[in-house]
Amino acid sequence: MSTPVSSIRNLGPAVEAACARAGIPDAETLRELGAHDAYGRMLRTGTRPHFISYYVLHMALQGRPWNDCRGKEKDDLRARFDALCAEVSGRSEALLGIEAVLDEIGVIARRKDG
């Protein structure tokens, strides 16, 4: 029996649709993959990267409120998010500082490393 992704606290129809596009049909598959790998799949199938979505997915799979992520835990997740975005986009390293902010909002063109 499969359970909808949206049955997980704090995950709604938009996340469920992004998961479906990424080949994650249900909550059981999402839990098996884990937040990091599932988010990577979502990015590879067209989901725009957004750090809050990334950590909300982590909190949801831990059964925690979406805004429970703070301090070192949040900093560590940010580093993992940046590395994942760099990997998916093909950059050799994550953007930092103002360049990362400008990239996130789409102000600067994507770099092609190599």
pLDDT at residue 47 in the model: 94
pTM of the model as a whole: 0.78
pLDDT higher than 60, residue 113: no
d(C-alpha 69, C-alpha 74), whole Å: 5
In the block, tokens 């070192």 appear at 72
Residue-range domains of the chain with CATH: 5-104 (1.10.150.20)
CA 4 vs. chain centroid, Å, equals 18
d(C-alpha 62, C-alpha 72), whole Å: 17
pLDDT tens, position by position, 66-81: 999 999 999 999 999 9
34, amino acid identity:
G
Q: Are 68 and 77 in contact (CB under 8 A)?
A: no
